[in-house]
A and B are shown apart, each in its own frame.
Chain A
């Protein structure tokens, strides 16, 4: 049997039931009938009033609809910008015959749907210009807010047609409700009249309410589709790193924000928060941490960055890193326990390994390369103790990267960091910001001060001569022997010392209390002038301990320090040189003469050195 497919899409839905499966010869006949039926039949019954332009309505304001289609009268509220008021726009015309329905239901029912501006349409099917005097249904579901808005914008437009229409609509509902209640009153005539009235009113109200909620739902749904605003249907919100953090406690406070301990996916992390005013610092630190191949045992491990808003509605930028229980090197040195020479050497060595890795450029395959990085804020507070003997470098907010002969970030301030640790060329503003190596040299200066901080905490108990000196003048040792200026932190450290004197006479006397460099010489938060006077003019450096002379390794360390905090940047050691020297010192702490130095320097990182020294 030869079944044919209907090619004419327009007819696909309007096939009469008996046409299905009709053989080919009948099909021609069916098509003919269809065409005949679809052609507008220009009889009075199909004529509608029409106010479109001539191409549609012809000369006599008339259009001819198809059999079964409708004539319509549409109204719409539009804003007349010239006259600044709302106007009603009227349109008359012929609706199309819709596929499958045999009428114009879709067009004629469109007034029921939500519209952005008030719109309505009324239909009649009998032709004969029936639409000319047709009144469309009242507006429904338009934006009330918008209407209100326009109302407040144009207070003189209070009696705009729109207002009338909505008022008319309300009136209709009210009349309806009263009629309903009257019926109810008649029905319940035996009952108490007031109660019955109230009840029926409530029922009527409930009905309108449910209608209303439905309409708002429709509205919100349509808004959702066009991505409008409003509380619509549930859209899943992406979780970010922040939602996986459980804050435990605050562990540090700074001008930039806070550092908190938190639990993240089962492990402890440190969360550093920035105010959005310090976005540059956050962004730079994040970018440095995310530099290729920056991963290193002696650089604080970065976990993630995120932006979120705290409960007090402050936007905070987060940096999440590994958490280390022992805290900063500064805290570590403040403990009661003193260090052995070996511990001190290893702490310093691991710091230098971190700095050396930052300073060095590393090339991998393809575009993977690690730029040279200068830290610019090295101090004992910015070094974290991972575990006994091992440190890592943290706080890269001020770091500069040197990539393809360019310094990143492009805009940066030169004189930044902690003034107490600033190199003399930075304090006196003589550093050439175009020469990246100068920033690295400045780092070495700061590192030398940190080396001193560590070294003075070494317990030296081999020399009795020094011991007696210490015991006779404990105050002197606290203020590092230089200057007697009364700064608040100096006082505090001295009080601390006296306290430890009383408590543990035998243990802590041999090592000095932890103090920051230049303690007692400069104020707590020194200014540039003060620092300039001390380190550039008077060229004061932290004093080496007399006892170090008796310990070969500390004596060597002291020499390295002195070289590294030299006033002339070029005279300072490079990080690589320091690293190798420190490795050698750890391996062979008792060497006395320079000739023994020619030992292989193959160990490249602290881990290797540790294992090597453990074997020996």
Chain B
């Protein structure tokens, strides 16, 4: 019995990929994303520890681009190119981890609030609405200011404040699925809560969750860089947001040191845009409502 099921799943995956590949934006996003992931993996091989060490800096303060330093130097005389490449690692990891954390919380809350009615749902909804309208950055600032610490704190802060969007989406989808007569049929067959949630609701919610995670990574990366820019998180970690903070506090703006201010920012925009493009492309393929619309 497993073989036809797997054949069907393979065929479905193939179909999704073909539809996805027809979306030019999504394809570009995948390529850009691939380059960033490659950079993150290869960074330790290409860059020696010493080139990140302030005490062993070889360049002058805020040197403009040259053969030695293709993107110039920072206020400590370190290569901006090297720092930016290295920054990819934390930005990717923190963005992914925070997005997964937030979608995980959101999905759990969404399914529980959608499946179980009554007071549980009412309480969960109240919470979701509250967090939804909250200026999440303000809460994340407060959280990471209190907790102090490095990347872990930032992941926690972003994850804990950004789940309501996915909770709302997942709840709506859960309600839509639960209103389908096949859920009534499953109940009439004798299926309990676990059966309905795991056999019917979860499989139909998963594509949506996947899309949502992809889109959430972009938001998380922006949030991370913002927190870093405001001086939160550990200063010993090299991140794009952190680089931009040092740049603006070392007078790079008035100095006109575009080589220091632009690369980390462009990297953020490209990575976020890549995730967004992939997410939107996936959305048109996986979200049945959008597909019907086309």
B is a partner of A: no
